Amino acid sequence: MEQAADTAIRSIAIVGGGTAGWMTAAALAHAIPRGCTITLIESDAIGTVGVGEATIPPIRVFNQTLGIDEAEFLRETKGSFKLGIEFVDWARTGQRYFHPFGTFGKPFDLLAVHQHWLAARAGGSRVPLDELSMAWGAARHGRFAPPVGDPRSVASTFDYAYHFDAGLYAAFLRRYAEARRVERIEGAVVDVALGGDNGHIASVTLADGRQVAADLFVDCSGFRGLLIEQALGTGYEDWTHWLPCDRAVAVPCATGGEGMTPYTRSTARAAGWQWRIPLQHRTGNGYVYCSRHLSDDEAAATLLANLDGPALGDPRFLRFTTGRRTKFWNRNVVAVGLASGFMEPLESTSIHLIQAAIAKLLAFFPTRDFDPAVVDEYNRVAITECERIRDFLILHYKLTQRADAPLWRDCAAMAIPDTLAMKIDHFHSTGRLIARDMDLFGPASWLAVHIGQGNDPRGGDPLLAYATGAQTSSGFVDRLAGAIDAMARSMPGHAAYLQRIGASQP
């Protein structure tokens, strides 16, 4: 093979040391052990967003790829296990449902399990859909053990993620990255120099005058988008008309009430929703709200009135605009984390999008030529991924039946993307779930929200007419729910399991 000119990337500068910066640094240090310097610039004076504590199951793949031991990670980040999200008061006040990680049982014939559940319900069964989910079975009893490999067992039908302290996770990954040659520079970037004919970023200048040059820049500077927006003026697509919340107030509290439940809770409130994320040493809380309908003071008062235990600090306010950058990769800058956009934390997808961006950056790793075809494909995939998640989030707002507050009335009446309208209509007519390419959330997730929020199908799958009949469906549903409950009761308690694996102190 002819010797190609050396166009390899030899230096990478990551600007920002929040969850995005340190996840990127750790993953790049792991994937590129030599031949390229990796520098991370962060400013303690500016600080991080300091929230972001609930995740979805792919985070386990990220940690495993880096060779991180699960028990050590949970110990160091005061983490807990997460089996899904309980949604309270979203459809109507007084109603609840669970979005589980995993599936609702396993098909025993050609029909989806939930078609049997629908048939059984039409025949008089009162078993809630939640009770066909192993994740909810364990969650509601406060139990946890990892899924088993035997596909015949109901204990193979769930998945899990984590809650963790975001600051401790960044510190954990910092130790990992610095042990693998990542150089950390403390200091605020005050200037950005563009170079050459191509307008690429050549270097950044710190407050003390130091300059850091690099071939590739990763913008992890948070909402401000220091490189991608302030320097390159990339542009932002605003999704506030679909995802109307634009503020959050957050405060941790002492563990109390139900304690360290193995799931997140999202409770709808008059102008948004409140999260509850239980960790080993405290519970994270926040009220995500729409500033058109609620003042900051009212939001803080509502949050403080709805805590499990005493607040452990003053409430912190955050402002954001839901949406995404028009390009995630522009010239020699890839935006990762909040610098790339934010879709609000309803389904804990932001940290996942960091992980997905890193995986794509490695899959499309450039040379110094920055081939436009590579950059375009990265952006195409990233935009599609985001839009699929966006639709799933809008689903929660659109399907509300609450008429008790202006936010919810507006959401029920709002126009939605065609891609989502098609899914809602299709489910409503036959109970069948339409999957689209690059959907992050699979059929079980969509099913949980459709049913949980009252998008009841008018009819069933036409194949039901040839199948077993309501009698069999009902028997199947009863047996599955019984097997799940028995399995859940045989699992250890959540706190006991963390102790057993050495992930927490007794």
Please give the residue ranges that form the binding site for ligand FAD (CB under 6 A).
15-21, 41-43, 46-49, 51-55, 166, 188-189, 220-222, 224, 226, 248, 250, 286, 288, 318, 320, 337-339, 345, 348, 350-351, 354
431/103 Cα distance (integer angstroms)? 16
Q: Which of 130, 129, 43 is nearest to 84 (CA)?
A: 130
Query: Smallest distance from the beta carbon of 452 to ligand FAD, in angstroms?
Result: 19
Pick the catalytic residue from 78, 82, 360, 398.
82
Closer Cβ to ligand FAD, 102 or 345, answer by number: 345
The length of the chain in residues reads 506
Whole-number minimum distance, CB 348 to ligand FAD, in Å? 4
Which of 285, 282, 245, 280 is CA-nearest to residue 265?
Answer: 285
Torsion-angle region of 463 (φ positive above 0: left; ψ -120 to 50: alpha; else: beta): alpha
H/E run at residue 121: helix 113-122
Q: Token pair for residue 287?
A: 């009220």
**Distance of closest approach, residue 462 Cβ to ligand FAD, in angstroms:** 39
Q: Considering beta carbons, is residue 79 or 345 the nearer one to ligand FAD? A: 345
Shortest Cβ 122–ligand FAD spacing (Å): 37
CB contact at 8 A, 84 and 162: no
Cβ closer to ligand FAD: 18 or 278?
Answer: 18
**What sign for the dihedral angle of Cα 30, 31, 34, 36?**
negative
CB nearer to ligand FAD: pick between 315 and 345: 345
Least CB distance to ligand FAD at residue 210 (A): 12
- The CB-of-129 to ligand FAD minimum distance in angstroms stands at 25
Known active-site residue 82: yes
Cα–Cα distance for residue pair 347/9, rounded to 1 Å = 35
Angle at 98 between CA 105 and CA 142, to 5 degrees: 90
Half-sphere exposure in the Cβ direction for 142 (13 Å, CA):
9
Region of 458 (left: φ > 0; alpha: ψ -120 to 50; beta: rest) is alpha
| Dist. CA 389–CA 333, nearest whole Å | 23
Q: Which is nearer to ligand FAD, 119 or 227 (CB)?
A: 227
So which residues are the catalytic ones? Answer: 82
